[in-house]
Structure 1
């Protein structure tokens, strides 16, 4: 029997809050299917007109994102007391580098990794969901992990 503190409920975020949070960070994780298996890539992105745009070079990420299957981008953040996670699901579209694109989101979209990143990809969302929750002190869960591990070795 444990005297666990009451757990505060997870807050389900509306789409407007999700977009506000996505504006505040620049790195997410792109999930695509490659040969029937999920692959996840870190990407630098910008929010542009209720969609997400990222740059990439030739390779697996571009081929998978440009294919017929849906993709997802997940981004996270936190402050001193709460953490959040937002998931954007949709179709990726490879963009032509137009003047409008280059003057907009692409102007400040700089990948962390060096190399040719000449392709721009927009995720047109079909779903934007998120959640926010109170960050729990490790002291409230660490003891439970040790107790479980000790029982498993007995």
Structure 2
């Protein structure tokens, strides 16, 4: 765990910092249960307040989150000598009727052009984030 010393390479993010990190990105990984196994898939998402929204189609991901709505979601980033990771845990649910129109006002932009007509929201119960000061000494040993 992190303390307040400046030499500690692990920095715990406040929940507001974690939400801010998620708000500035659009790509992460969804972990869900399917037939007794845990699956992880990349998804594009947008935030609606403090819930995640994504589009999907019929298939194993949709089946998994409807059969067992307990999910986890992670976004990571490495820039220079810093890495950031934010993890959310919550419950997924399919939005139908008027509730599904939320996707029209959010910047949910799939990177792959395939049909997606099902709107899923993840109601986040827990969020945690960490920022790491990286040393990666092996990079210093590479020839110039």
Q: What's the TM-score bracket when you normalise by the shorter of the two chains?
A: 0.7 to 0.9
With normalisation by structure 1, the TM-score equals: 0.79
**2:67 counterpart SS class:** coil
| C-alpha distance after superposition, 1:60-93 (max 9, x if no partner) | 0011112234101100123333110000100001
With normalisation by structure 2, the TM-score equals: 0.84
**2:111 counterpart SS class:** coil
**Which residue does the alignment assign to 1:101?**
102
Alignment of 1:3-152 (within 5 A): 8-96=8-96, 98=98, 100-105=101-106, 108-139=107-138
RMSD of aligned residue pairs (Cα, Å): 2.2
Residues of 1 paired with 2:108 and 2:44: CA distance? 7
Q: Which protein is richer in helix relative to its size?
A: 1
**Which residue does the alignment assign to 2:3?**
none
Count matched residues: 135
Unpaired stretches in structure 1, ≥5 consecutive residues: 1-6, 143-154
Residues of 2 paired with 1:29 and 1:43: CA distance? 6
> Structure 1 segments of 4 or more deviating over 4 A?
none
Structure 1 pair 42/97, CA: closer, same or farther in 2 (3 Å)?
farther
**Which residue does the alignment assign to 1:147?**
none
Contact map agreement 2:103 2:119 (CA 8 A) in 1: no
Structure 1 pair 90/45, CA: closer, same or farther in 2 (3 Å)?
same
Contact map agreement 1:25 1:77 (CA 8 A) in 2: no
